[in-house]
Copies of this chain bind each other. A is one copy, B any other.
Amino acid sequence: MSRRGILVVVSGFSGVGKGTLMKRLTEKYSQYALSVSATTRAPRKGEVDGREYFFRTKEEFEELIRNDMLIEHAEFCDNYYGTPREYVEDQMSQGRDVILEIETQGARQVCRQYPDALTLFIMPPDARTLLDRLKSRGSETEDKMESRLACAVREADCVEQYDYMIVNDDLEESVDQMHGLIESQHWLVSRNRDFAEQIRSELKVFAKGE
């Protein structure tokens, strides 16, 4: 593949099914790489360094920040989380479209550094479906439910900062829609200026020669 990969920023409500969607997308199509975050939190049982997360000490993480080696980072519950630049850049150079699942604030940070990133917001078919999905997770307490809903309301106010939405109703349809959408972005004129320039100069040669 000679074409450069696209950075795809994906956000969406908690419970909307982002994880399942991303997993199926990468299973079904080989052109995608999921970005792997770095974190200072301890690995859980079964988690592998470089697969679920890059596990780093607090000191290592702060060095990553200092050396501008993260595209974005944030602190949650006394732990750092961030997106290593190198992995994203490597995959894009190899022609892979890199999927970065991230909340709305991190998405803004990323877009400042990658203005031509493609931004997608995953929507439920309706609010009731989202509520039911959250409830069916079972383990949710009343308190957690309330805070998730409050969070969803805040996130809903950020939808307009995204380029496209994907309505996650039927999984396979949503996966194909997402793939079609990313694929189409490769044909933006702004991503193909070299090709346009090549055709242009070839035509000029012919026009002189004929």
Contact = CB atoms under 8 A, between A and B. Distances in A.
B160 A196 contact: yes
Interface string A152-174: 11001101101111110000000
Interface residues of A, number: 47
Contacts of A199: 123-124, 126-127, 156
Interface string A83-95: 0000000000000
A210 interface: yes
Contact of A187 (B124, B177, B202): B177
A34 interface: no
B192 A165 contact: yes
Interface stretch (A19-27, A45-53, A143-151): A143-151
A131 interface: yes
Contacts of A121: 189
B184 A184 contact: yes
Contacts of A76: none
A137 interface: no
A152 B187 contact: no
Contacts of A126: 198-199, 202
A127 B200 CA distance: 8
Given A164-B188, A189-B164, A210-B145, A203 B159 contact: no
A133 B122 CA distance: 44
Given A123-B199, A126-B199, A156-B196, 5 more contacts: A156-B203, A157-B200, A159-B200, A177-B183, A181-B187
Closest 3 CB pairs of A and B: A127-B202, A156-B200, A181-B184
